[in-house]
Amino acid sequence: MKKLGLVTAVALMASFGSAQAHIRLDYPMPRTLELKTGPCGAAGSTRGSNVTVLAPGATIEVKWTETVNHPGHYRVSFDPDGQDFTVPLDFNDFSQTMNVLVDNIPDRAGSQLVYKQMITLPNMTCENCTLQVIQMMTDKTPYGDGNDLYFQCADIALRTNAPTPDAPLAVTDANGAGGDAGSTPAAKSGCQTSSGATSWFPMLGMVGFGAWVTRRRRTSNAL
């Protein structure tokens, strides 16, 4: 059997990494890449080490990607002191307004779609605030069996000395060390949470190194 070519291997690994995901919060930086358990994606999820620092009352663009299409809608919520988020009572419930900033954001047909939603944060300071994006999937009947919603959360701090929305938005760890606001982890499976899309980057190096070794051996044998 012929050896798998480098280009084919790269394509397969890239496809594997992207095909498993369903929704990925791109900005602000997500706490976890898991999706299945509310309120923030992973069972027992608590505040993480990556915190996006924003100004009180700032208007920002929340950005997420739907990599596997499901009909339904999205909701963006904000909790100033933790993660006390409610869940819809049924597929068409938009009545719960506690912490909800924008509801019934329509889904678009197709996969690998990027969504952008402008939201205005509360005009207050907080160090333990959380932003949540949920995906409601209306093709997952019956409602309430645990397969209707995907959850993503971002840990946020609202500080009076934070950059304006037009300036680079800082990301800090729990100790206040700076980071890159654009460094968003790649998608991890919403159904299988043991591997992420970033895991194939090291594999690319291994494939390339193996191809180089093979060429060297063939050259040596020919001399």
- pLDDT digits 0-9 by tens, 188-214: 333 333 333 333 334 434 444 454 444
- Specify which residues 201 forms β-bridges with: none
- Domain map (residue ranges) of the chain: 24-175
Phi and psi torsions of 75, nearest 5°: -140, 140
pLDDT averaged over every residue in the chain: 73
Q: What would you measure as the largest C-alpha separation in the chain, in angstroms?
A: 77
Tokens 């063939």 map to which residue?
A: 218
Q: What is the pTM of this model?
A: 0.66
Q: Which of 210, 213, 223, 216 is nearest to 9 (CA)?
A: 210
The answer to whether residue 125 scores a pLDDT higher than 90 is: yes
CATH code at 24-175: 2.70.50
Q: Rg of the chain over CA atoms, in angstroms? A: 21
| β-strands 72-79, 126-137 pairing | antiparallel
